């Protein structure tokens, strides 16, 4: 018995799905062959290659939860750009705001009236007083880490095993089988001595966290409030209280990265659960797909930053703050964020997303039960994930070991070949407000069919 499925059958069925994919996607295949001549990995971003067929589908257009490829196939998109399009593709209110602003100047290195509105809204919604804008969540994390080093005078960043916070060098580590920290599988250490930059701890392990902080060399703890990038790992009861108490005791700034957990509600997981980070990072979905992220700081941290980097005074030589970028905070981002916050990220839309996500979760739970699979399904707000272990994992290491490349590839490709897209890197479905119950039911029906075909004891 391996994860409830007959792996020989899975392997055979996967081969059949690859064949079906090639037959159904000839134009995408031709695009890919030509793209290989120009793009380092056959696409403008290497991740675009990591879908379960032998090449990515080429997209013709996407609206709401529906995506159409160049071979004319329509898909229900539950990947939504791995969260960047969490509120649906081409969201009408945000698209209109972007179209209007782009004709009035998109990048000015000056604030617009929207900047004030967005600043006020960020403070109101997420509770921290001071904010900055970046072009990606990776950048936001990098810049906050840099500032934490500056204000604490310490070097190391503490992250949790199997985290993902973007391509932040210090965070690209994992535990090996002996519990030693090594560069993450597939990521070159790139000359970085991780022993000098990073402390690594398993999520939910407060004693290990305390032991790491007690060294006195940690500049910041960077975490998601609920791990979402290795399957989903919920915080154990008391974990967040312990994390906050320990970071305060050792005077270590706590950065909470809500880039994915914004799926929990209009104020993110922190808003729903009353968490009080020192820094808050948010990216991807807040500007309708325009590259954009924000980070916020508490009053106390802002005061420490101003001690090192005071406000610019006229007549002073140009000051290099060491963070930011000329495109950050641009007028287009501001218009897009204003439209997203004022017209999209509201209780009504979240209510709809949650109801759809619950329908999907309940359907998957019923399939798991019907086939007695040793799997489980987790939902946080609009995000649903199924993982090949019976209980929710306690930490990233456990979640990582429950992954299974072949089964994932088969499930994803079976669904893709029949018009449903899951997030390629794991079994994650995100529900946008314009998805329909029929689309959710299609996912659940297809998952039932593809599992029935390969479960242990299935007729050959």
Ligand X SMILES: Cc1ncc(COP(=O)(O)O)c(C=O)c1O
The 8-class DSSP code of residue 379 comes to E
283 touching ligand X, by CB under 6 A: yes
Least distance CB 283 / ligand X (angstroms) = 4
Q: What does the alpha-carbon distance between residue 140 and residue 128 come to, in Å, rounded to a whole number? A: 15
Q: Which of 69, 170, 202, 257 binds ligand X (CB under 6 A)?
A: 257
Phi/psi of residue 446, nearest 5 degrees: -65, -40
| CB-based contacts of 304, cutoff 8 Å, min separation 6 | 151
Residue placing its CB nearer to ligand X in the complex, 282 or 331? 282
Least distance CB 269 / ligand X (angstroms) = 11
Least distance CB 35 / ligand X (angstroms) = 21
Q: Which of 28, 112, 136, 285 binds ligand X (CB under 6 A)?
A: 136
166 touching ligand X, by CB under 6 A: yes
253 touching ligand X, by CB under 6 A: no
Residue placing its CB nearer to ligand X in the complex, 24 or 383? 383
284 touching ligand X, by CB under 6 A: yes
Q: Which of 247, 259, 333, 417 binds ligand X (CB under 6 A)?
A: 259
Least distance CB 240 / ligand X (angstroms) = 16
Least distance CB 424 / ligand X (angstroms) = 12
Residues 323/404, Cβ–Cβ less than 8 Å:
no
Q: What does the alpha-carbon distance between residue 149 and residue 155 come to, in Å, rounded to a whole number? A: 6
E strands in 251-320? 254-257, 279-283, 293-297
138 touching ligand X, by CB under 6 A: yes
* Residue listed under structure tokens 């641009």: 330
- Which of the ranges 33-41, 133-141, 170-178, 296-304 carries the binding residues for ligand X, by CB under 6 A? 133-141
Binding string to ligand X for residues 214 to 233, with x set by CB under 6 A, is what? Answer: ----------x----x----
Binding string to ligand X for residues 69 to 108, with x set by CB under 6 A, is what? Answer: -------------x--------------------------
Q: What is the 3-state secondary structure (H, E, C) of 9-28?
A: HHHHHHHHHHHHHHHHCHHH
Residues 324/330, Cβ–Cβ less than 8 Å:
no
Least distance CB 208 / ligand X (angstroms) = 21
Alpha carbon 149 to its chain centroid, in Å, reads: 25
Residue placing its CB nearer to ligand X in the complex, 199 or 383? 383
Least distance CB 224 / ligand X (angstroms) = 5
Selection from 345, 15, 294 nearest residue 133 by Cα: 294
Q: How many residues contact ligand X, by CB under 6 A? A: 15
CA distances from 30 to 36, 90, 144 (A): 10, 27, 43
455: three-class secondary structure by DSSP: strand
| CB-based contacts of 96, cutoff 8 Å, min separation 6 | 339
Which residues of the shown chain bind ligand X in the complex (CB under 6 A)? 82, 136-138, 164-166, 224, 229, 257, 259-260, 283-284, 293
């Amino acid at each position: 018995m391996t994860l409830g499925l007959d792996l020989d059958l899975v392997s055979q069925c996967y081969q059949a799905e690859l064949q079906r994919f090639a037959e159904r996607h000839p134009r995408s295949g031709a695009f890919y062959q030509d793209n290989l001549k120009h793009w380092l990995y056959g696409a403008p971003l290497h991740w675009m290659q990591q879908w379960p067929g032998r090449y990515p589908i080429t997209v013709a257009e996407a609206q709401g939860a529906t995506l159409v490829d160049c071979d004319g196939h329509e898909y229900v998109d539950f990947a939504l750009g791995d969260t960047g399009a969490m509120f649906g593709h081409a969201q009408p209110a945000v698209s209109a705001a972007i179209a209007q602003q782009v004709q009035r100047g998109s990048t000015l290195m000056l604030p617009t009236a929207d900047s004030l509105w967005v600043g006020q809204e960020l403070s109101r919604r997420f509770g921290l007083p001071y904010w900055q804008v970046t072009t990606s969540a990776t950048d936001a994390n990098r810049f906050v880490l840099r500032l934490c080093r500056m204000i604490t005078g310490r070097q190391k960043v503490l992250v949790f095993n199997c985290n993902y916070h973007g391509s932040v060098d210090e965070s690209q580590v994992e535990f090996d089988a002996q519990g030693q920290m090594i560069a993450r599988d597939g990521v070159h250490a790139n000359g970085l001595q991780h022993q000098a930059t990073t402390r690594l701890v398993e999520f939910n392990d407060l004693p290990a966290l305390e032991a790491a902080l007690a060294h006195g060399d940690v500049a910041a703890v960077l975490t998601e409030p609920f791990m979402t990038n290795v399957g989903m790992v919920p915080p154990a009861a008391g974990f967040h209280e312990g994390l906050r108490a320990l970071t305060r005791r050792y005077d270590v700034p706590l950065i909470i990265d809500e880039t994915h957990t914004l799926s929990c509600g209009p104020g993110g997981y922190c808003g729903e659960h009353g968490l009080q980070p020192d820094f808050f990072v948010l990216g991807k979905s807040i500007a309708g797909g325009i590259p954009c992220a924000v980070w916020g700081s508490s009053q106390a941290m802002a005061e420490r930053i101003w001690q090192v980097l005071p406000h610019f005074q006229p007549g002073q030589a140009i000051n290099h703050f060491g963070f930011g970028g000329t495109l950050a905070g641009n007028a287009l981002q501001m218009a897009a964020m204003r439209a997203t916050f004022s017209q999209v990220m509201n209780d009504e839309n979240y209510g709809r997303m949650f109801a759809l996500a619950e329908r999907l979760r309940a359907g998957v739970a019923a399939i798991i039960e019907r086939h007695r699979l040793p799997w489980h399904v987790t939902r946080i707000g609009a995000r649903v994930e199924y993982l090949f272990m019976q209980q929710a994992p306690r930490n990233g290491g456990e979640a990582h070991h429950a992954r299974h490349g072949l089964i994932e590839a088969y499930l994803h490709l079976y669904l893709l070949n029949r018009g449903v897209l899951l997030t390629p890197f794991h079994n994650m479905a995100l529900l946008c407000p314009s998805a329909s119950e029929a689309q959710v039911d299609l996912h659940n029906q297809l998952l039932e069919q593809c599992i029935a075909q390969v479960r242990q004891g299935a007729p050959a």
